C-alpha cells in the first residue's frame, strides 16, 4: 500500500481495495478509542441556548425533553419555532458562510429542525403558521437533475418557508399554472445542463408574457451571475437573483421577505428598459474552413472489432465499482467537504473520518437495492468535417449523426477528426472506422428511496443516496472503459492521441447515466 500512487486513477484494483479497507479499519478504531470532548453540562446552559444548540450540532439527543420543558414554561409552539430554533438555524447559516460547516452538517442540522417542528406541530392550532413565505421550485424543461434543487427545498423548508417542489422537466406552462394556484412570493429555477441555462431564458420570457413579475431565483452548474444578469434578467424584465448554492438561496429569500431589505434586493437584481438589453455591434473575424485538423493522422490501417452486437451487463460487485469513485466529487462537490478529503482522511481528521463513516452507512443501504447496469455497442462510423455518422453493419444510410464543434483557435481540433473520413470507407477499401457508444445507470429506485428518506426527515441519507447514485454511474463509466472495452479500444485510443498521431482502431463517446431512475 505504501507503493500505491496518490492519484486514485492510477491505482489498480487491489490497491484501491486495500486502501478502502485500511480507511474502514482506521475509522472503526477511531470511534472505539475517541474520547468525548469536554463539554459544558447541557443542564447548566439556559434552555433557549440548549434548544438552539441542538440545531447547530445537528443532534436529537435530549431534544424532545427540552422542547417539552419549554412548552411547560407556557411558551407557544410557534414561538419556540420562531425563537430559539430559528436562532439555531440562523447560526447554522452563519457558520456555513464562514466555511465552518459543510453541506453534510447543514443537513444534520435540518434533520434536528425537522424533528423539532414535527413534535411541536401536534400542539399547534390550525391557524398557527410558522411560514415566512412561499416559493415554487422546478428543474426546467429538458433536465432531469434535481439533487441541488432538493437540497434547496430542505434548507428553505427548515427555515420556515413553504416550498412547492414541482419536480423535474417542468415546462413553462406548468410553472404558470403553479403560480396561479399557489401565489408564491418567488419562483426558483434549477438545471445542471448547459442547455438548461438557455431554457431558463425561454422560461423567464414565458413567465413575463403570462404577466408574472415576482422575483426569480436561478441556480445550476452551468449558470453564472453574468449569464443571469445579461441573458435571463433581460428576458424576464424583473428581478432575477443568481443563487450559487442553497445557503445563498436562503439568504436571498430572507432578504426578499424582509421589508427592510426587499426593495434593495429587487433594485440590485432588476433590469432597466422593461427587460430590453443593450445591443452591441460586434465585428466577427471569419475563420478559414477546416475539413479536419492536420494534427490527427488518417493514413493508418483500421483494426477489426470483435463484435458489433449490443452488450448488456449487470455489474454486481458494487464494492469493486465504488473503488472507481472520485473522492473529490462525492465528498467535496456533493457533500461540501472543504480541502483535500483523501489527505485529511489518511491523517484521521475527525470531520473527514465521520463523513466517510456516514457515507459507508449510506453504501450499506444502497447495496441492498442498487442494480448497476451498462449497455454498449460498437458501430461503424465515418467523419464528414464536423459531422460524425454512425452506421449499422454494411449500411449506407446513417443510423445517427452528431454535429460536433471545432476549436476556433490552436490546432482546430474536432472530435470527429479521430474517426476516419468517409473517403476511407467502403467506397475505397471496404472498411469503416468504429466507435463504441455506451450508457450506464445506477439503477431504478434511487429517487423513490431518496424522496422517502427526505419526507421522513432523514436529509443526509436522502442527499447521500442521490450523491452516491450519481457518482456510481460515473464510476461505472470509468470501470467499463477499463474493463469491458479496454481490449477493443483503450490501447488504440492512447496510441491515437499520443504524439498527435492517429492510429487505426476505435474511439468511444462516453454517455454516463445521470438519471437515477
- Over the stretch 179-222, which tens digit does the pLDDT of each residue have? 999 999 999 999 988 899 999 999 999 999 999 999 999 999 88
CA distance 132 to 158: 11
Mean pLDDT of the chain: 84
pLDDT of 507 higher than 60: no
Q: Which residues contact 340 (CB under 8 A, 6 or more apart)?
A: none
The backbone torsions φ and ψ at residue 229, rounded to the nearest 5 degrees and listed phi first, read: -75, -40
499 pLDDT above the threshold of 90? no
Mean pLDDT on 323-327? 93
pLDDT for 40 equals 53
Q: Is the pLDDT of residue 516 over 50?
A: no
Q: Residue 496: is its pLDDT beyond 90? A: no
pLDDT in tens, 228-284: 999 999 999 999 999 998 899 999 999 999 999 999 999 999 875 444 444 444 455
* Residue from 72, 77, 107, 76 nearest 336 by CA: 107
- Contact at 8 Å (CB) between 459 and 114? yes
Residue 35 has pLDDT above 60, yes or no: no
Q: Which residues contact 12 (CB under 8 A, 6 or more apart)?
A: none
Distance between CA 137 and CA 490 in Å, rounded? 43
d(CA 261, CA 135): 18
In percent, the amount of the chain with pLDDT more than 70 equals 80
Among 202, 193, 138, smallest CA distance to 167 is for: 138
Distance CA 150, CA 167 (A): 9
- Is residue 491 scored above 60 in pLDDT? no
Within 8 A by CB and 6+ apart from 388, the residues are 381, 382, 401, 402, 404, 415, 416, 419, 435
Inform me whether the pLDDT recorded for 17 exceeds 90: no
The H or E element containing residue 449 is helix 446-455
Measured in whole angstroms, the distance separating CA 422 from the mean position of its chain's CA atoms is 39
State the DSSP code for 67. Answer: H
3-state secondary structure of 187: strand
Please report which residue ranges of 86-215 form alpha helices under DSSP H.
86-97, 103-121, 147-157, 172-182, 194-209
Q: Map residue 461 onto helix, strand or coil.
A: helix
pLDDT at 432: 86
Check residue 291 and give its pLDDT. Answer: 80
The kind and range of the H/E element at 493 are helix 491-497
d(CA 157, CA 228) in angstroms, rounded, equals: 25
Given a cut of 70, whether residue 510 has pLDDT beyond it is no
Does residue 38 carry a pLDDT above 60?
Answer: no
Quick one: CA dihedral 73, 79, 81, 83, positive or negative?
A: negative
Distance CA 268, CA 228 (A): 13
Quickly list H helices, 258-395: 262-268, 318-322, 327, 341-346, 350-366
Q: What are phi and psi of 402, to 5 degrees?
A: -100, 135
N-terminal to C-terminal alpha carbon distance within the chain: 37
**CA dihedral over 388, 391, 393, 396, signed as positive or negative:** negative
Cα separation, 463 vs 362, whole angstroms: 10
The Cα–Cα gap between 318 and 324 comes to 10
Q: Mapping DSSP to helix (H, G, I), strand (E, B) and coil, where does residue 123 land?
A: coil
**At 288, is the pLDDT very low, low, confident or very high (cuts 50, 70, 90)?**
confident
Give, in order, the Cα–Cα distances in Å from 73 to each of 63, 79, 468: 16, 12, 44
DSSP H helices in 228-330: 233-236, 246-257, 262-268, 318-322, 327
Q: What is the DSSP letter of 335?
A: T
> Residues with Cβ < 8 Å from 58, sequence gap 6 or more?
105, 107, 108, 109, 111, 112
Amino acid at each position: 500500500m505504501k507503493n500505491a500512487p496518490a492519484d486514485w486513477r492510477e491505482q489498480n484494483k487491489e490497491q484501491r481495495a486495500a486502501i478502502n479497507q485500511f480507511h474502514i479499519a482506521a475509522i472503526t478504531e477511531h470511534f472505539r478509542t475517541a474520547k468525548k470532548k469536554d463539554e459544558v453540562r447541557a443542564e447548566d446552559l439556559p434552555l433557549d441556548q440548549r434548544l438552539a444548540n441542538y440545531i447547530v450540532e445537528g443532534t436529537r439527543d435530549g431534544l424532545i425533553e427540552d422542547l417539552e420543558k419549554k412548552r411547560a414554561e407556557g411558551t407557544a409552539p410557534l414561538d419556540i419555532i420562531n425563537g430559539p430554533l430559528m436562532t439555531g438555524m440562523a447560526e447554522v447559516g452563519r457558520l456555513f458562510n464562514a466555511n465552518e460547516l459543510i453541506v453534510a452538517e447543514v443537513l444534520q442540522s435540518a434533520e434536528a429542525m425537522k424533528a423539532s417542528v414535527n413534535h411541536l406541530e401536534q400542539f399547534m392550532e390550525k391557524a398557527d403558521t410558522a411560514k415566512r413565505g412561499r416559493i415554487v421550485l422546478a428543474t426546467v424543461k429538458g433536465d432531469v437533475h434535481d439533487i441541488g434543487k432538493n437540497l434547496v427545498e430542505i434548507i428553505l423548508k427548515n427555515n420556515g418557508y413553504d416550498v412547492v417542489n414541482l419536480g423535474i422537466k417542468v415546462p413553462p406552462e406548468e410553472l404558470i399554472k403553479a403560480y396561479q394556484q399557489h401565489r408564491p412570493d418567488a419562483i426558483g429555477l434549477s438545471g445542471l445542463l448547459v442547455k438548461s441555462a438557455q431554457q431558463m431564458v425561454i422560461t423567464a420570457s414565458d413567465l413575463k408574457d403570462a404577466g408574472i413579475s415576482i422575483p426569480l431565483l436561478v441556480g445550476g452548474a452551468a449558470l453564472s451571475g453574468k449569464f443571469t444578469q445579461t441573458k435571463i434578467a433581460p428576458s424576464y424584465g424583473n428581478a432575477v437573483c443568481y443563487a450559487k448554492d442553497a445557503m445563498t438561496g436562503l439568504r436571498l429569500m430572507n432578504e426578499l421577505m424582509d421589508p427592510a431589505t426587499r426593495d434593495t434586493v429587487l433594485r440590485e437584481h432588476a433590469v432597466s428598459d422593461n427587460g430590453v438589453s443593450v445591443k452591441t455591434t460586434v465585428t466577427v473575424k471569419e475563420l478559414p474552413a477546416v475539413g479536419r485538423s492536420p494534427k490527427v493522422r488518417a493514413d493508418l490501417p483500421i483494426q477489426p472489432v470483435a463484435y458489433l452486437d449490443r452488450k448488456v451487463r449487470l455489474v454486481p460487485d458494487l464494492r469493486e465499482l465504488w473503488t472507481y469513485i472520485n473522492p473529490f466529487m462525492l465528498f467535496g462537490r456533493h457533500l461540501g467537504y472543504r480541502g483535500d478529503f483523501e489527505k485529511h482522511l489518511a491523517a484521521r481528521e475527525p470531520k473527514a473520518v465521520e463523513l466517510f463513516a456516514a457515507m459507508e452507512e449510506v453504501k450499506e443501504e444502497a447495496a441492498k437495492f442498487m442494480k448497476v447496469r451498462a449497455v454498449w455497442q460498437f458501430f461503424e462510423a465515418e467523419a464528414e468535417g464536423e459531422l460524425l455518422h454512425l452506421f449499422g453493419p454494411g449500411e449506407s444510410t446513417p443510423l445517427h449523426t452528431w454535429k460536433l464543434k471545432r476549436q476556433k483557435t490552436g490546432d482546430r481540433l474536432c472530435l470527429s477528426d479521430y474517426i476516419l473520413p468517409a473517403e476511407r470507407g467502403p467506397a475505397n477499401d471496404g472498411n469503416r472506422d468504429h466507435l463504441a457508444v455506451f450508457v450506464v445507470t445506477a439503477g431504478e429506485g434511487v429517487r423513490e428511496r431518496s424522496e422517502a428518506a427526505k419526507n421522513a426527515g432523514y436529509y443526509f441519507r436522502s442527499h447521500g443516496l442521490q450523491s452516491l447514485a450519481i457518482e456510481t454511474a460515473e464510476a461505472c463509466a470509468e470501470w467499463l472503459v477499463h474493463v469491458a472495452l479496454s481490449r477493443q479500444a483503450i490501447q488504440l485510443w492512447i496510441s491515437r492521441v499520443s504524439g498527435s498521431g492517429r492510429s487505426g482502431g476505435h474511439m468511444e463517446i462516453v454517455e454516463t447515466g445521470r438519471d437515477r431512475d
